[in-house]
Structure 1
Amino acid sequence: MSQGAACPKVYIYMCPVCGVDAVSTTPAHLVASVLDTLEISCPFNHYRAVTAKGDTTHKFRCKWRGKLGSLSDHLIGCPAYPVKCPKCHVEVGRHQLGQHLKSMCPEREVACPHCQTLCLVKNAQKHLTQCQEYSVPCPNDCGEKIRRKHLDAHQDTCPKRKVSCPLPFCNTEVVKSDLSQHLSLDMMHYHLAQLGGYFASKADMYNIIEAAREENSLLRRDVQALTERDEAREREITSLREMVAALTQSVAELKGQR
């Protein structure tokens, strides 16, 4: 190779002889035979992968040192050589890919610790909002945590659930644990007021029912009158039909006498 032969570009940060950046500059004073014998370190002895978002991920270090001519063979199996995760596409060192897929990749599947359903780790929090085995606080603030699938059944026994007052004239809803207090003598004036309103509403209802009955009676009389009128008209129609039949017969007899 002549003195002006180009130094082949290799994936190192700087020329180990002259210190010039070998990726962007080709040292003209080195020949290939000399370069192949140079002692170099793996270009990934100080390397950080950067994601598409610009975030720096894990630091990889490779302690390999050897001849420049052996670099290509080394890179084939270099444990720190950056490879992309097949699921999340983040660059990690080749030796870290297995651990990344197992415990770091956001696209890996994990089992819910409550129901054992498999879901992507990035969706784990969303799954907890629907997981039927996940314990959630009682919506009535009774202090208990109940599995989501048992919430409906808990409402039947929860001391903080709302129940209707058993008195027929009281429409109040109270917390179950406060029902005894609601029915105590201390609430008598309240219930007497409710009772007065109840009877007033009953009286109003009675008046409404009586008015409806009277209106119904009037409608019945109207229906009866219409029925009688229809029957009278039906009798008139029958009489007219008989007259038409008699006239028709008379006409036929007259025609027969001619």
Structure 2
Amino acid sequence: MEEGFVVCQICSGIMREASVWEGEITCLVCSESQDLNPVRIVHNAVNQLEVKCPILRDCTWNGKLSEAENHLDNCNSFKLQCVDCEVTIIRGEYDNHKVNTCILREIKCEYCFKQGKAKYQEIHNEVCNEYPISCPNNCGEKFPRSKLSQHKSKCKYEKISCPYTQYGCEAKSMLRRDLLAHKKEFYIEHTDMSLTRIKILEGENSHLKKELSEMAMEGKIMKQLDGVEWEIKYVYKLPNNDKLVGPIVYINNYKLDSLY
């Protein structure tokens, strides 16, 4: 008897005796020899049963039991693990996760166009030179971070000092927008400061002209002595007054008078 053959108890006994004496199994209805496996028949019958998706989470699939395994391979409610961030997510949301929500997906900064992981986007925004920031003086303007210094150089709410503080003006902190009014108010004082400064510069200029003239004269003398062997020998003597004497100049071995 073929293993797994399913029949009722009475038929089982009759067929068992037939197989012992005759050496084969015959159908009790048609008397034909059989090579059937009723377990397989039952299995096939079960596979035809109508079932629902084993996962059930938002899945409305209905079908035969034999199709359930294939359905699981494509069921949108089946849970998968992201190969990058290892987050568990249902298949139906996997593609969207990889493109839009995975923290380890590659993205491009919309301001400087550098690529990096989405996980570090906020950190990148804190240092990105092209990321738009607001004026720290609350003037209402926005600009790339790299333009901050340029903006502050003209922002009307930036705190500055009067240009005349280096000449004595005490206005060391004011908003740029108030500078014009300050200049108008202290016009006379600023003029006096400028005149005083001009006088100082004229004195310094006169002194520099004198030094330049002396240097030009020395250069002329050095040019005349160009090519002549000369050296300065320091001969120190201690006369009765205990003062040092020297140096003594020799040009082409001819002694000149002491420079002192």
Q: What TM-score, normalized to structure 1?
A: 0.49
Q: Which has the higher contact order (CA 8 A, sep 6+)?
A: 1
